[in-house]
Structure 1
Amino acid sequence: MVNLVESKPLMTQAEYAKKLRPLLPPEAFQPDNNYVLILGINLAILILGWGIADSLDRWNWYFLWLYLPLALIMGNSVIVALFSTHNIMHSATIKKPQLKQAIVLLGLTMLWMPPTLWKAVHNREHHNNTNSFQDPDRNYLEEQPKNWGKWIQNKFVPSAEVNPILLTIGMAHSWGVHAFRNLSSVFLFNNGTTKYPVFSFTVSPQERRAIGWELLLAIAIHSSILIFLDFHPIKLLLGYFLPIWIGYSGAMFYIYTNHMLCQMTAINDPLINSISLRVPKIFDVLHLNFSYHTEHHIFPGMNSDYYPMVQELLLTHYGDRFNLLDVGKVWQLMLQTPRHYRDETTFTDWTGEKSVPCPLSVNRQEG
């Protein structure tokens, strides 16, 4: 197979931004206070849901199904809490550092993600090293040890080999694995040599202390919810676990499709190492245009309302490089390919017996 890096030279995120920024209106880069409002509304939905869940022990059992639509709405609020907080942390929406830290802590608590860790793993490591060897969010490499972290990805992440039942379980729990994998690595060891994360990075002593305090506050908030629900099985199942499972599944659906089907790149080229999805408009409205993921990697701090404008520019100027696919097609391709990297443009399975070219690389070369 022809090596894509040789056949079509990679470009950097800065090169795309330099060309496209003058073509966009200045207001696209102004802070958007609506993110805070959206986060507040969805936190209020969660609180309302827990308030109603506290009465579930007084419902006749044959009426419990009436809570399921609210659990679905609460699950969506978990997704929106992540995405709105994600946008707040990329932007200058909140000027005061302490206020910003308090707000993003509330936004990420349901995800068990200390904001200081998110800033390190996502803003710093992932965005600067997207789908490269140094990216903690990429697929595992074939050459990496077969430890518990790699085993979980192999068993529960969408691939040609995954069991449908394990995939369903994984959708609801893989976010927790991702958070625990990186949290334990930096909080317990912080030496850059732990083997079970996809890539082991380090944080400063000050960041490490902040992560510890933020984790304690998250534990206190979750414990308060459990106490409020009286540790009652029905209340916990429908009012706590089910919304979390729905929310984590929705978030992981986006996260899986953002990069894991792409080739690795030594140079951070967002048009090669990222995917933007075509999804029904309702999901872009609900989820702050998170499907415009390549656009986000070019302009991380941009108002997400303007991502469709960036997409039009990408189609005009870089249509032959741009990974823009229907969401169903991306999911189908993920279920047809293995999930470990043999090299930058080739996937393999747990046994190393398969060797499957990255389908996006093949399509681009043929085009």
Structure 2
Amino acid sequence: MLRNLTYQQPLLHQSKYAKALRPLLPAEAFAPDPSKLAILLANLVILILGWVIASTLSHWSIGLLWLFLPIAIIMGNSVTVLLFSVHNLMHGSVVKNSRLSYAISLSALAVWWMPPTLWKAVHNQEHHNKTNSIADPDRNYTYEQPNTWGKWIQNQFVPSSEVSPLGLVMGMASAWGIYGFRHLTSVVLFNRKSVDYVPAALTVSTKERWAIAQEYLVIIALHLSVIAYLEFDLKQLLLGYFLPIAIGYAGGMFYIFTNHMLCEMTDVNDPLVNTVSLRVPKIFDRLHLNFSHHTEHHIFPGMNSDYYPLVQELLKAHYPERYNLLDAGEAWRLLMQTPRHYRDSNTFTNWSGKETVSCPLSQLD
């Protein structure tokens, strides 16, 4: 259990903010926005067209291969946008048709090797209801947790004061895959709260467990289809498959690393204490569906993301002393200056436990 803390102001549950701010927002902010499907489908098309072009790379001379790099970057951005788009879709802010939502979610999350039933369990049900608490599967590991393979790999790859440059580069491209693999194996192979190689284990029903396994088989088949389409050719696979996915994962992880890792653990789900929003150039908010507005999302998970900037203005007006709003560069600097394991709810420590740093966003007296 977390130790009792005395805050400058008492912790407030997410529902308190929602209740206070909802009357100040237009009704259309909470209506489904099917136009967001066009963004999701457009980025699926971009990715497919990129693979079509990549299938010709075996005929390109070595000296011309660099011309594919801008295409790989565009494809990588589409990989990132697919995650953020399906994230909104599965929160119900795009369409309410569950069958349509499921079919599209499976297609989009396949790029991220994430079964939608697993995502719903880990993200929608666990993470959003237990944000940055001891029971949140997305939190940092604690120092007291056993030094399992999952904890060791995260220690090597996530941004921190002790991560190596090579580890950080590898982590940006692969941390999501490790995250998904940890939770997939935890649920499908064991499905017990006692699993110790994840930050916090969750369990699902037998029906969900089978659905996750079946969805993962579909995802494997889809990836093998792309690899086969690229003819198992090294140039085509490196530039047309691995590189865009690595770029896309890195783009997504830049946001994800900053969402909660700098924050205290809290017993009460207070998104103004346990979540960070970023200031990023406007072009990235446009491209990435305002994903930088993460505190706003945790207050209103099912809201149309177009209205998050309006929520941000309300938070700055009504809760300026509590709201964690950082420039993206500053958030990254703080991540790189602090260790990544919780010594306690508002103190970070490193793998050996010899370095101890107070949470830079602490709201303690």
Normalised TM-score (structure 2): 0.98
**3-state SS of the aligned residue for 1:137?**
coil
The aligned residue for residue 105 of structure 1 is: 106
Deviation readout 1:62-114 (Å, 9 max, x if unpaired): 00000000000000000000000000000153333222211100110000000
The aligned residue for residue 344 of structure 2 is: 343
Q: Which amino acid aligns with 1:296?
A: H
**Identity among equivalent pairs (%):** 62
TM-aligned CA distance change 1:92 to 1:295, over 3 Å: closer
Q: Tell me by how many angstroms 1:6 deviates.
A: 3.9
**3-state SS of the aligned residue for 2:326?**
strand
Structure 2: where are the runs of 5+ without partners? none
Match runs of 1:121-200 below 5 Å: 121-200=122-201
Q: Which amino acid aligns with 1:36?
A: L
The answer to whether 1:54 aligns with 2:55 is: yes
Q: Tell me by how many angstroms 1:263 deviates.
A: 0.5
- Mean Cα displacement is larger for which, 29-38 or 175-184? 29-38
Match runs of 1:221-232 below 5 Å: 221-232=222-233
Q: Which contiguous aligned blocks of 4+ residues in structure 1 show a shift greater than 3 angstroms?
A: 3-7
Measure, in 1, the Cα distance between the counterparts of 2:85 and 2:315: 24
Contact 2:93–2:304 (CA under 8 A) maintained in structure 1:
no
The aligned residue for residue 329 of structure 2 is: 328
Deviation readout 1:310-335 (Å, 9 max, x if unpaired): 00000011000000010100100011
Measure, in 1, the Cα distance between the counterparts of 2:8 and 2:289: 35
**3-state SS of the aligned residue for 1:7?**
coil
Q: Tell me by how many angstroms 1:306 deviates.
A: 0.4
The aligned residue for residue 292 of structure 1 is: 293
Aligned CA RMSD, in angstroms, stands at 1.2
Deviation readout 1:200-228 (Å, 9 max, x if unpaired): 10000111111111111111110100000
**3-state SS of the aligned residue for 1:75?**
helix
The aligned residue for residue 359 of structure 1 is: 360
Measure, in 2, the Cα distance between the counterparts of 1:4 and 1:198: 22
Report the count of equivalent residues.
363
The aligned residue for residue 206 of structure 1 is: 207
Contact 1:11–1:269 (CA under 8 A) maintained in structure 2:
yes
**3-state SS of the aligned residue for 1:325?**
strand
Q: Tell me by how many angstroms 1:355 deviates.
A: 1.4
Contact 1:35–1:85 (CA under 8 A) maintained in structure 2:
no
Structure 1: where are the runs of 5+ without partners? none
The aligned residue for residue 20 of structure 2 is: 19
Contact 2:339–2:357 (CA under 8 A) maintained in structure 1:
yes
Contact 2:7–2:364 (CA under 8 A) maintained in structure 1:
no
Contact 1:112–1:218 (CA under 8 A) maintained in structure 2:
yes
Q: Which amino acid aligns with 1:348?
A: T
Contact 1:264–1:273 (CA under 8 A) maintained in structure 2:
yes
Contact 1:131–1:264 (CA under 8 A) maintained in structure 2:
yes
Q: Tell me by how many angstroms 1:35 deviates.
A: 2.0
Measure, in 2, the Cα distance between the counterparts of 1:283 and 1:268: 28
Measure, in 2, the Cα distance between the counterparts of 1:241 and 1:17: 41
Contact 2:33–2:95 (CA under 8 A) maintained in structure 1:
no
The aligned residue for residue 247 of structure 2 is: 246
**3-state SS of the aligned residue for 2:321?**
coil
Q: Which amino acid aligns with 1:269?
A: D
